[in-house]
Amino acid sequence: MSINEKIYHRLDDGVDLVAADFSQRFIIRKFCGHDSINQYATLRVCGFDGVSSFIVAFSAFFGHPEAIQHAASAFETTPAFRNAVVAATELLGTARIKHELEQRCNEVSSWTADAARLFRIEFGNEWAADNGTNLHRIASDETAYVQFASKRREEREKAAAKDRFGNSAPEWSHGDE
């Protein structure tokens, strides 16, 4: 066993777990509890990373960050996690999830914003030049995007209908509207 796989329990030295054990249903039932499972799933749905979500939700456990990442990945293969994600998604709703994901992006981007400003000051003239990227917009880009967006919307609508109705989802095309 690698030292990076051991998971320790804060209150019980007799608990002998490795990261992969968090894919076992009996481990989840014995050590995790509904509140922790739901908290972890909600954090993940809201865009928090697996390591910090695991550490917060399952606070009785600790270990090497790589072991925590492996434990989180193992846990995310379980039906308990999948069911909690569905529940969290329904509880939060699309607007709240969208807001939370925007906040995560703002948080992450704020960490690099200062560096980006410094780079822009230092390299602004070089960045403004076309250095072979050939990113000049052309008229066909808009047409291609409209087709792409229409196809994507139709795929999402079909997936949503299948989620709502199961395999008996009605088949339709936008020509039926």
Q: List the Cα angle 67/72/73 in 5-degree steps.
A: 95
For the chain of 177 residues, list the mean pLDDT of each consecutive stretch of 10: 82 93 92 94 97 96 95 96 96 97 87 81 72 66 85 87 67 50
Alpha-carbon distances of 54 from 41, 98, 128, 139, rounded to whole Å: 9, 22, 43, 47
Average pLDDT over all residues of the chain = 86
pLDDT in tens, 125-154: 766 665 555 566 677 888 888 888 899 889
Q: What pLDDT score was predicted for residue 169?
A: 54
What was the pLDDT predicted at 87?
96
Query: Could you tell me where the DSSP H helices lie in the chain?
Result: 25-31, 33-45, 50-57, 65-75, 79-128, 139-165
Close Cβ partners of 74 (under 8 Å, ≥ 6 residues apart):
19, 20, 21, 22, 23
Structure token digits, residue 50:
């697996």
| pLDDT score at 177 | 44
| CB crowding 99-138: b at 16 or more within 10 Å, else e | ebeeeeeeeeeeeeeeeeeeeeeeeeeeeeeeeeeeeeee
Question: Measured between alpha carbons, how far is 18 from 5 in angstroms, rounded to an integer?
Answer: 5
Query: Which amino acid does the sequence have at 67?
Result: A
Question: What pLDDT, on a 0 to 100 scale, did the predictor assign at position 109?
Answer: 77
Alpha carbon 150 to chain centroid, angstroms: 25
